[in-house]
Structure 1
Amino acid sequence: MSTKAHRKPVAPPPPAQTASASRVVLVAAVTAVVAGLAGGTIGYLVGSPSASEVAVAEMRQADEVRDKQQVEDLTAMAKSTAEELDKVLAAFVLAVPQDPAAQPQPAVPEIVHGWQDVVRKVAEKHADSPSGMTATNVARGGFRSAVNALSAALDSYAAVLALPEDQRKPLLDLVARQRTTAITMWSVAATQLDQLNVDSGHGHQHAYLTGTPGDGSIPADNIPEGTE
């Protein structure tokens, strides 16, 4: 009688379990990739400025460039204007002294008309008022108002000269006050302009009137021009 060898059957690996483990690994990997991409996108969106923020920043930069140029242009015009006005004011102060005790040196009407023409042309230059930053607009408006006030003082003086001499004194006092107001207004604007130049990197720039010392004018500081 033959004897058969008995062998233990070998159990095959559980395919279902192996596939399941692989799917778990794959899902985890995909999830990690997606999470990484999402996190990067969120971080980019959070860190990047919005379209409106970019537009606002560009507008501010454009305003700064425009205003810096306006400050330069206004400074050049104010300095040239101050030179023209100083010539008129030096003679105007002699004709109508601020000091009541001083002896006036009346000007003839033809001379006064010449002063009026000078100031009228200056007023035309300052009539233009381009929009700029608030501080620049204030300085520009101050210069324009000062020139107009001086023009009014000269018109008053021309009218006074048409009166008999014994009627002029009270009105001459009014003319002197009008002129002082104009000079003071110019001085305030020049101080504002000086600070604007410092703020914009040009250093101190002086456009003060010098033809009427003590007559409402504010003297320039002792800091050299161009010094911050």
Structure 2
Amino acid sequence: MSRKTGKPSYVRQAEQARARRVPLAATIAGLVIAALVAGLVGYFVGRPDATTRAIDDIKAQEAKRDVDQIRDLTAVARRSQETLTTLLNAFDTAVDGTKPVDAATVKSWQETVKGLVTAHADSPSGTTATNVARGGFRGAVADFQVAVDIYAQAVAAPPEGRAALTAIAGRARTAAATAWSVAAAQLDQINVDAGFGHQHVYLETEQGSGAFTADGEEEGHTGG
């Protein structure tokens, strides 16, 4: 009859090692799964939903559209500034009697201002700040048109009524220049905000614009 013996020590050691490895492997697997789940949850929680993404896209499109509108409005205003400066230099000397003009010249002024009104008639929808600048320029050129029309009436009026109409034309011109300067200040600010730097389209005539003038910042300067 053979003697009963236990398992050899090396067998018992292998079994014990396997027993330890099973819980360890399960623990590691659990940690990996938990990390993956946490990562997925974090991704979906942190990821913008469809509505948020749509709103962000709309905001980005609006921002680009506004930048384009600011650039276009500045170009139109600058061309108008050059035209008005030339016109007002002649208008001012005519109104104060320094250099009177004939009806044909006044007629040409009316055509010029009519062209400016047309140039500023476009009214795309933009941000409030851009709309204010655009509306300001539109109102100003309309006021200049009124001033020139009044002066045309003064030139055609009988001598006894000419002085009064000329004075009214001068006041209308000053009001128009003031309205223009407010729009120019607004345009300057939205250009700075858009990253284009200061853009000055103020009226600088030989006798003065009768309104606000540009600040001391250089053209294109992005500060202040």
TM-score by length of 2: 0.81
Task: Show the 5 A alignment for 1:64-213.
Answer: 64-97=63-96, 103=97, 105-211=99-205, 213=207
CA distance in 2, matches of 1:164, 1:50: 74
Q: Which letter does structure 1 place at the counterpart of 2:78?
A: K
Higher relative helix content: 2
The answer for the alignment partner of 1:46 in structure 2 is: 45
- 1:195 to 1:213, Cα distance in 2 relative to 1, 3 A: farther
CA distance in 1, matches of 2:220, 2:109: 32
Q: Which letter does structure 2 place at the counterpart of 1:128?
A: D
Q: Which moved more, 1:207-216 or 1:41-50?
A: 207-216
Q: What percent identity do the matched residue pairs reach?
A: 45
Displacement, 1:28? Answer: 8.2
The alignment yields a C-alpha RMSD, in angstroms, of 2.6
Kept in 1, the 8 Å contact 2:178–2:210? The answer is yes
3-state DSSP of counterpart to 1:131: coil
Residue ranges of structure 1 left out of the alignment (5+ in a row) = 11-24, 98-102
Cα distance per residue 1:54-85 (max 9 Å; x no partner): 11111111111111111111111111111101
The answer for the alignment partner of 2:55 in structure 1 is: 56
TM-score by length of 1: 0.80
Between Structure 1 and Structure 2, how many residues are aligned?
208
Residue ranges of structure 2 left out of the alignment (5+ in a row) = 7-22
Q: Which letter does structure 1 place at the counterpart of 2:84?
A: L
3-state DSSP of counterpart to 1:66: helix
The answer for the alignment partner of 1:226 in structure 2 is: 220
Displacement, 1:104? Answer: 5.1
Displacement, 1:203? Answer: 1.0
